Amino acid sequence: MRYLPLSDADRGEMLARIGVSSIDELFADIPAKMRMEAPADLPRAQGELEVERILGRMAARNIAASSVPFFVGAGAYKHHVPATVDHLIQRSEFLTSYTPYQPEIAQGTLQYLFEFQTQVAQLTGMDVANASMYDGSTGTAEAVLMAHRVTRRRKAVLSGGLHPHYAEVVRTLSRLAGDEVVTLAPDVSAGEDLLAAIDDTVSCIVVQTPDFFGNLRDLRAVAEKAHAHGALLIAVFTEVVSLGLVTPPGEMGADIVVGEGQSIGNALSFGGPYVGLFATRQKYVRQMPGRLCGETVDAEGRRGFVLTLSTREQHIRRDKATSNICTNSGLCCLAFTIHMTLLGQTGLARLARINHANAVKLADRLAAVPGVTVLNGTFFNEFTMKLPKPAADVVEALAGKGVLGGVPVSRLLPGAGLDDLLVVASTEVNTDEDRAAFIEALKEVL
Amino acid sequence: MLNRQGRPTQPGAAGAEAHETFTGNRALQQEEALIFEIGRLDVTGVDFDEPEAFMPRLGGLERKGDIGLPGLSEPETMRHFVRLSQKNYGIDTGLFPLGSCTMKHNPRLNERMARLPGFADVHPLQPVSTVQGALELMDELAHWLIELTGMSAVTLSPKAGAHGELAGMAAIKAAIAAKGEGATRRVVLVPDSAHGTNPATAALLGFEVKAVPAREDGTVDPAEVARLVGTDVAAIMLTNPNTCGLFERDVVEIARLIHEAGAYFYCDGANFNAIVGKARPGDLGVDAMHINLHKTFSTPHGGGGPGAGPVVLSDRLAAFAPLPFVRKAGTVLELVENGNRTEVTPFGRVTAFHGQMGMFVRALSYMLSHGTDGLRQASEDAVLNANYVRAGLADLLSQPSGNRPCMHEVLFDDGWLKGTGVTTLDVAKAMIDEGYHPMTMYFPLVVHGAMLIEPTESESKASLDLFIAAMRDLAMAAKRGDTARFTGAPYHAPRRRLDETRAARQPVLRWTPPPPEAPAEAAE
């Protein structure tokens, strides 16, 4: 087996050195009747070529985003990732390193985490960010728990524009922890009365912008009322590229900003691994979940970085920790940091403008298709349209014509009476030809 | 001596430490500033054309002013991150005996497979008809995990080990609630030697954590379990093999006691890599166990993630598994994403979408490559290597439970350092100078000055022989009083020891622009 360096001769010598006559003696603590006599009933070892064939055949059964006109978003977005990113994250010293518990030989990881934290803080308009969560959805659930710790209340209010999966993750964790959650009705047109939901019993209000249906939300009034009642505003995003063009939540009074960073540096990868971004105000730092990297000096006075404030974490505080998170999204953070470094604010803002321009073009052309109504007053690179037929059927029919045309709202919100709604995203990857193919196919299937 | 071109062929005198360089660099070790110190706000390393003029639909929410994110050109970016990488120690650099973390070889075939466009470039919400191969891969991975563990079901979506613990314990909580015992079963038993994630997870779910004291050798005494278990207990969270590197020899009896009391057996599967193909958790009475794909099945640790933590479940818990899951419907695979089915009662959803697909591909690639025979051999080699290290060091280092066979990792304490003035931390830092990543230190907490060494099956005999020789040399140096070699270490790493107290007392968690320089005042 190509991955195992020991030869049978080595094994024999080593057993002798240990002083046992067979490998089974080393497994003697396993009760004899529980020991497997033979390997499990599964295929035997195979060479690279065979494994490539098996997995290649599975991969070929999927339609790759780059191979078709592609307009699917709703929490994960198809963007172009520069070749440099994928090369660098495969450097052995990044790929095969561990959580930087030994900082003297992990300055590479620690420095990029420090850079990542700074980039996320700048983007969101917040004071500090952590070294990542698993993804936007779990980050949102952790933000709610953090708000409960800060306010010593246990009731969260979720906007009807929050991504339905995110809302479900929050509800699941809250139910398990015995906390209360109020979920407002799905809000297609950003018309819900968030202010009415805030009172002195509420720990936090969770609002996504751009929201699940694509609408941009002005959070200032919500922040003001939340603060007046001692509650926190948690601002959520699923499309981090939007922050290149729209007012960051930090400038609108958010106390915690949390979201999905996949769009920058990371592949779609059927839903994971992704990278959760998590930022807050300086005064709440010690209530934050997750790892934090901080600056310090070494014994010779040179600048260096270490993991810090770990008294919040499970390996020190155990059942009193702020979260149970341990492994996070290290390499996805690195991909994010590299891509963001290549972009800089100049490239990011331009990328965001291209996304917005493409979405505007697409929305205008779709709105001209008979029977189609675009519902959004505002949007960034994603919007919702109403169709004369169930959106799930339309999407299947479009796929049959080689166009991946969006996400039916009913897939995430079944039984909500929103079966005719389709969420459509457009990024820099879409061309005029893609748009023409979409319009053409849509006209045929409607 | 000069050669025929008049070029010297012999080096001058040694003494590198005395030679300061102008740049602060040391040849291949390059000092590297932060992006924020070397980047420029108007530079970008990505070429795009500006879009044509259009009417924005931002509703007056345009961002104003600088974002404060400098950019770098592509060559500068490349150099920045390559230099950073050169300050990191990886498995590919050398022996990485970090106990409990399983730093084994990461085959690059797995990286190539995960990057196939059919896996990397598919969206989680594409029509299910366009991702049948992705679902097939998940189904196949599930099959391997179920066969290897002897369990009934698996939920793939948890994002890492601790997230898997959460999902598994949530299934237990749901099962207890379904029996109407939610109000009474509120205690979770956790041995002292457990990973910190175990009590943190139990507390997160509102359980009360009760510690189970360990026996002298670090294993759990069934008599203690019998004493603590009762109608108020929801579950025990037991790591097996445990964090002392020992198989819990009374695990079957412990499972029996737990089940008899109407509670559940959660197994922390962080050390499953020791017994793959040798024993099945399902046969041992386990009800739920997470599997760290980034440990046992070698998806790269990536400097702290991403991981993946699928959870295998017993018959008693299978119906409570969270959404989503893959289901066969004739020749087609379905993805069940919503909880409107009657035959099962999922406890909810732990993450958006369907889990760490990129890790699933890598793990299945690893499994297919090893095959069932290779996986068993890998476990045997991991255990053999750990015992070989034990045998090589037993006369110089001290072991908390005496010199007896271990599983995939060997635990030493700091008894052998008594009176030397050298600590476990010092030994770890001296190992860095010798070119090794240190072992896990001060964990498990039940052992004083713990040193937990897990060489993994990826090490050759020659590599282990050198490691043993180096550790013996360090041990003898400590015992003969060469403390400077330890207390000042590391001397040769990119940084000397870092001031962690300062980092925590005056936290600097991000770069901020330096204050503008005060106008120079006239000297008085």
C-alpha span between B214 and B206 (Å, rounded): 24
3-state secondary structure at position B416: helix
Q: In sequence order, which residues have a C-beta less than 8 Å from that of residue B71 and are 6 or more positions away?
A: A341, A342, A343, A344, A345, A346, A347, B39, B40, B41, B42, B43, B44, B45
* Residue of A3, A173, A272 with shortest CB distance to B353: A272
- Rounded to 5 degrees, φ, ψ at A205 are -120, 130
Instruction: Tell me if B277 and A331 make a contact (CB, 8 A cut-off).
Output: no
Nearest 5 degrees, angle CA B76-CA B23-CA B93?
Answer: 65
- Rounded to 5 degrees, φ, ψ at A277 are -100, 140
Tell whether B283 is within 8 A of chain A (Cβ): yes
Q: Which two structure tokens, joined as six digits, stand for A35?
A: 């020991």
* Pair B283, B330: CB distance under 8 Å: no
Q: Which two structure tokens, joined as six digits, stand for B132?
A: 């049948």
* Residue of B173, B384, B494 with shortest CB distance to A26: B384
B213 and B355 co-located in one domain: yes
pTM (two decimals): 0.97
* Residue of B48, B84, B405 with shortest CB distance to A108: B84
Instruction: Tell me if A3 and B458 make a contact (CB, 8 A cut-off).
Output: yes
Alpha-helical segments (H) within A152-239: 164-177, 220-228
When pLDDT is averaged across residues B368-382 and rounded to a whole number, the result is 98
In the block, tokens 């891509």 appear at: A339
B295 and B382 co-located in one domain: no
β-bridge mates for residue A260, sequence order: A276
Q: What is the pLDDT of residue B372?
A: 97
* Pair B185, B220: CB distance under 8 Å: no
Instruction: Tell me if A34 and B45 make a contact (CB, 8 A cut-off).
Output: no
Minimum distance, in Å, between the CA of residue B65 and any CA atom of chain A: 10
Closest CA to B83 of B25, B21, B43, B19: B25
3-state secondary structure at position A369: coil
B344 and B379 co-located in one domain: no
Tell whether B25 is within 8 A of chain A (Cβ): no
Where does a domain end: B303, B332, B367?
A: B367
Q: In sequence order, which residues have a C-beta less than 8 Å from that of residue B512 and are 6 or more positions away?
A: none
Instruction: Tell me if B160 and A134 make a contact (CB, 8 A cut-off).
Output: yes
What CA–CA distances, in Å, run from B327 to B119, B135, B139, B155? 19, 9, 8, 12
Sign of CA dihedral A388, A389, A395, A396: negative
Contacts of B40 in chain A (CB under 8 A): 344
Q: Is residue B258 part of a domain?
A: yes
When divided into structural domains, chain B yields a total of 2
Interface of B with A in 99-118 (CB under 8 A): 101, 103, 105-107, 109, 111-118
Q: Number of A:B CB contacts under 8 A? A: 726
Q: What is the pLDDT of residue B18?
A: 65
Residue to mutate among A105, A132, A300, A361, with most B CBs inside 10 A, is A105
Tell whether B404 is within 8 A of chain A (Cβ): no
CATH assignment of A83-339, given 3.40.640.10, 3.30.43.10, 3.20.20.70, 3.30.450.40? 3.40.640.10
B200 and B260 co-located in one domain: yes
C-alpha span between A167 and A158 (Å, rounded): 7
Alpha-helical segments (H) within B314-416: 315-318, 357-393
Minimum distance, in Å, between the CA of residue A117 and any CA atom of chain B: 6
Per residue in B68-86, is it b (16+ CB within 10 Å) or e — as a string?
A: bbbbbbeebbbebbbbbbb
Comparing A193-202, B81-90, B186-195, B475-484, the range with the smallest average pLDDT is B186-195
What CA–CA distances, in Å, run from B386 to B216, B274, B366? 21, 10, 22
Instruction: Tell me if A308 and B507 make a contact (CB, 8 A cut-off).
Output: yes
C-alpha span between B499 and B257 (Å, rounded): 48
Instruction: Tell me if B127 and A165 make a contact (CB, 8 A cut-off).
Output: no
Q: Is residue B59 part of a domain?
A: no
- The DSSP annotation for B74-129 comes to HHHHHHHHHHHHTTB--TTTS---BTTT------HHHHHHHTSHHHHT--TTS-GG
Nearest 5 degrees, angle CA B218-CA B204-CA B286?
Answer: 50
Tell whether A444 is within 8 A of chain B (Cβ): no
Return the residue of A nearest to B117 by Cα. Answer: A64
Return the residue of A nearest to B37 by Cα. Answer: A115
When pLDDT is averaged across residues B17-36 and rounded to a whole number, the result is 89
How far from the centroid of its chain's Cα atoms is residue B402's Cα? 28
Instruction: Tell me if B196 and A64 make a contact (CB, 8 A cut-off).
Output: no
Contacts of B275 in chain A (CB under 8 A): 27, 30
Instruction: Tell me if B69 and A353 make a contact (CB, 8 A cut-off).
Output: no
Percent of chain B residues topping a pLDDT of 90: 89
B287 and B413 co-located in one domain: no
B328 and B413 co-located in one domain: no
β-bridge mates for residue B190, sequence order: B211
Contacts of B136 in chain A (CB under 8 A): 58, 61
Instruction: Tell me if B387 and A26 make a contact (CB, 8 A cut-off).
Output: yes
How far from the centroid of its chain's Cα atoms is residue A228's Cα? 31
Closest CA to B494 of B14, B18, B30: B30
Residue to mutate among A96, A149, A379, A395, with most B CBs inside 10 A, is A96
CATH number, residue B223: 3.40.640.10
User: What SS3 string covers B134-174?
Assistant: HHHHHHHHHHHHHHHHCCCEEECCCCCHHHHHHHHHHHHHH
Q: Which two structure tokens, joined as six digits, stand for B517?
A: 């320089």
Contacts of A393 in chain B (CB under 8 A): none
Return the residue of B nearest to A61 by Cα. Answer: B133
Instruction: Tell me if B305 and A329 make a contact (CB, 8 A cut-off).
Output: yes
Instruction: Tell me if B500 and A105 make a contact (CB, 8 A cut-off).
Output: no
Q: What is the pLDDT of residue B5?
A: 82
**pLDDT at residue B522 is higher than 60:** no
**Over chain B, what is the mean pLDDT?**
94
C-alpha span between A325 and B196 (Å, rounded): 10
Return the residue of A nearest to B82 by Cα. Answer: A88
- The DSSP annotation for B240-301 comes to SS-TTS---TTHHHHHHHHHHTT-EEEEEGGGGGGTTTTB-HHHHT-SEEE--TTTTT----
Q: Is residue B6 part of a domain?
A: no
Q: In sequence order, which residues have a C-beta less than 8 Å from that of residue A159 and are 6 or more positions away?
A: A184, A187, A192, A194, A205, A206, A207, A208, A211, A217
Instruction: Tell me if B59 and A378 make a contact (CB, 8 A cut-off).
Output: yes
In the block, tokens 């014994």 appear at: A299
Q: Is residue B293 part of a domain?
A: yes
In the block, tokens 């810090």 appear at: A308
Q: Is residue B125 part of a domain?
A: yes
Q: What is the pLDDT of residue B523?
A: 47
C-alpha span between A348 and B68 (Å, rounded): 11
Where does a domain end: B333, B367, B401?
A: B367
C-alpha span between A187 and A413 (Å, rounded): 12
Return the residue of A nearest to B507 by Cα. Answer: A294
Helix, strand, coil fractions of chain A, as percent rounded to 5: 45, 15, 40
**What do you get for the CA distance between the two ends of chain A, in Å?**
56
C-alpha span between A125 and B436 (Å, rounded): 41
C-alpha span between B518 and B524 (Å, rounded): 16
Q: Where in chain A is the domain with CATH 3.90.1150.10?
A: 66-80+345-445
Torsion of CA B394, B395, B399, B401, to 10 degrees: 90
- Rounded to 5 degrees, φ, ψ at B244 are -90, 5
- The DSSP annotation for A245-310 comes to TB--GGGGT-SEEEEE-TTTT---GGG-S--EEEEE-GGGGGG--S--EEEEEBTTS-EEEEE--G
Q: What is the pLDDT of residue B4?
A: 82
C-alpha span between A99 and A400 (Å, rounded): 45
* Residue of A134, A294, A379 with shortest CB distance to B509: A294
Tell me the pLDDT tens digit for each residue of B58-117: 999 999 999 999 999 999 999 999 999 999 999 999 999 999 999 999 999 999 999 999
* Residue of B307, B352, B381 with shortest CB distance to A163: B352
Instruction: Tell me if B377 and A1 make a contact (CB, 8 A cut-off).
Output: yes
**What do you get for the CA distance between the two ends of chain B, in Å?**
58
Contacts of A304 in chain B (CB under 8 A): 495, 498
Topology of the domain comprising A66-80+345-445: Aspartate Aminotransferase, domain 1 (3.90.1150)
Percent of chain B residues topping a pLDDT of 70: 96
Nearest 5 degrees, angle CA A251-CA A254-CA A258?
Answer: 110
* Residue of B64, B443, B461 with shortest CB distance to A10: B461
The length of chain A is 446
Instruction: Tell me if B124 and A40 make a contact (CB, 8 A cut-off).
Output: no
Q: What is the pLDDT of residue B20?
A: 85
Count of beta carbons in the 10 Å neighbourhood of residue A19: 11
**pLDDT at residue B165 is higher than 90:** yes
* Per-residue pLDDT in tens (0 to 9) along chain A, 446 residues: 999 999 999 999 999 999 999 999 999 999 999 999 999 999 999 999 999 999 999 999 999 999 999 999 999 999 999 999 999 999 999 999 999 999 999 999 999 999 999 999 999 999 999 999 999 999 999 999 999 999 999 999 999 999 999 999 999 999 999 999 999 999 999 999 999 999 999 999 999 999 999 999 999 999 999 999 999 999 999 999 999 999 999 999 999 999 999 999 999 999 999 999 999 999 999 999 999 999 999 999 999 999 999 888 888 788 888 888 887 899 999 999 999 999 999 999 999 999 999 999 999 999 999 999 999 999 999 999 999 999 999 999 999 999 999 999 999 999 999 999 999 999 999 999 999 999 999 999 99
C-alpha span between A45 and B375 (Å, rounded): 9
Q: Where in chain A is the domain with CATH 3.40.640.10?
A: 83-339
B179 and B205 co-located in one domain: yes
C-alpha span between A257 and A276 (Å, rounded): 11
Contacts of A347 in chain B (CB under 8 A): 44-46, 48, 71
* Pair B406, B394: CB distance under 8 Å: no
B356 and B470 co-located in one domain: no
Tell whether B412 is within 8 A of chain A (Cβ): no
Beta-sheet pairing, A128-129 with A276-280? antiparallel
Instruction: Tell me if B160 and A123 make a contact (CB, 8 A cut-off).
Output: no
Tell whether A320 is within 8 A of chain B (Cβ): yes
Q: Which two structure tokens, joined as six digits, stand for A144?
A: 């709610």
Minimum distance, in Å, between the CA of residue A184 and any CA atom of chain B: 18
Comparing B55-64, B117-126, B216-225, the range with the smallest average pLDDT is B216-225
Instruction: Tell me if B306 and A330 make a contact (CB, 8 A cut-off).
Output: yes
Beta-sheet pairing, A293-297 with A303-307? antiparallel
B359 and B376 co-located in one domain: no
**pLDDT at residue B145 is higher than 90:** yes
The DSSP code for A200 is T
3-state secondary structure at position B220: strand
Tell me the pLDDT tens digit for each residue of B231-276: 999 999 999 999 999 999 999 999 999 999 999 999 999 999 999 9
Can you say whether residue B22 is alpha, beta or left, with left for phi > 0 and alpha for psi between -120 and 50 degrees? alpha
Contacts of B96 in chain A (CB under 8 A): 98
For residue B457, give its domain range: 372-503
Residue to mutate among B92, B122, B427, with most A CBs inside 10 A, is B122
Q: What is the pLDDT of residue B341?
A: 60
In the block, tokens 């099956």 appear at: B457
B220 and B314 co-located in one domain: yes
Q: In what order do the strands lie in the sheet with B187-191?
A: B153-155, B311-313, B288-290, B264-268, B233-239, B187-191, B208-212
Return the residue of A nearest to B404 by Cα. Answer: A26
Minimum distance, in Å, between the CA of residue A396 and any CA atom of chain B: 7
Confidence of residue B344 (pLDDT cuts 50, 70, 90): confident
Q: Is residue B456 part of a domain?
A: yes
B346 and B395 co-located in one domain: no
Q: Is residue B473 part of a domain?
A: yes
